[in-house]
Amino acid sequence: MSADPGAATLRIRRAVAADVPVLAQMIEELNADQREPLGHVTTAAVARDGFGERPEFEALLAELDGAPIGYALYHPSWSTEVGEKGFYLYDLYVREAARGHGVGRALLAATAVRAKEDGRTFLWWSSKDWNRKAQDFYRRLGAIEESVKAHALLGEAFDSLAASERPGPASKST
């Protein structure tokens, strides 16, 4: 990022299939930044699940003078709290050198615009409990903070639970 951010051109655009390698690379950068395991996200998985026949997610890329500096990855959601559809923002990432110059805000704003274009009324996301800088940033935008615990069932635990499902006789209420 240049010393004068106004001198550079920031562009937010929807990711396309040609962006798969850089998107996969930045996902790994975010995973490292968030202390998550590395090596699970491949370009093949990003291509298949983001740009295949039935995409599971969409992504926006932030570019500064054509160089990728961040992304937002989201997918459709529906809220049982408000009875409306929105987007679940799974990832918001800005490369270290570009932080503090409005890129994250621009990505979130573009995601909100994309949601409105799709007839959606909210964005929802979570953050690591220890990531106070991100939480402060979200608060400044007007985001509310909810007390929730995130849970994930992965790998062997997921497979074990799925294998334990046995159709049985329906119980009758008396």
- Alpha-carbon torsion (44, 46, 48, 52), positive or negative: negative
Q: Which two tokens stand for residue 51?
A: 């740009």
Known catalytic residues are 138
Q: What is the 3-state secondary structure (H, E, C) of the chain?
A: CCCCHHHCCEEEEECCHHHHHHHHHHHHHHHHHCCCCCCCCCHHHHHHHHHCCCCCCEEEEEEECCEEEEEEEEEEEEECCCCEEEEEEEEEEECHHHCCCCHHHHHHHHHHHHHHHCCCCCEECCCCCCCHHHHHHHHHHCCCCCCCCCCCCCHHHHHHHHHHCCCCCCCCCC
